[in-house]
Amino acid sequence: MQDYSEYNDPSGMMAALGPMMGVIMIVGLACFIFYIFLWWKILSKAGFNGALSLINLAVIIPLIGWIAPLILTIWFAFASWPALRRPPGA
């Protein structure tokens, strides 16, 4: 039977996970910034202030942060869009 006692040291694995987690955090942050940008464009084209997309930053609040973006999405879905109320050609 083989002796695997030399593989019980987690320091090598932890040394590899550090840079990998850094890359994952950078990619995640870039995706979140792109998500905010997309909401900004959508809200602007619907006739709302694009800064409403910054409500999505509430997700950094632990436990309750998901509620504000959910409310924004529900409100946006059922709101009367100013862009649709403009007369044609305006």
Position 72 in a domain: yes
Residue 30's domain comprises 5-85
* Residue-wise pLDDT tens digits, 53-69: 999 999 999 888 899 99
pLDDT in tens, 28-45: 999 999 999 999 999 999
- Which single residue is written with the structure tokens 């942050």? 29
Indicate whether 79 belongs to any domain: yes
Is residue 90 assigned to a domain? no
CB 78 within 8 A of CB 46: no
Torsion angle (degrees, nearest 10) of CA 38, 42, 79, 87: 170
- Structural domains of the chain, count: 1
Residue 10, domain member (yes or no): yes
Q: Is the pLDDT of residue 14 over 90?
A: no
CA distance 69 to 66: 6
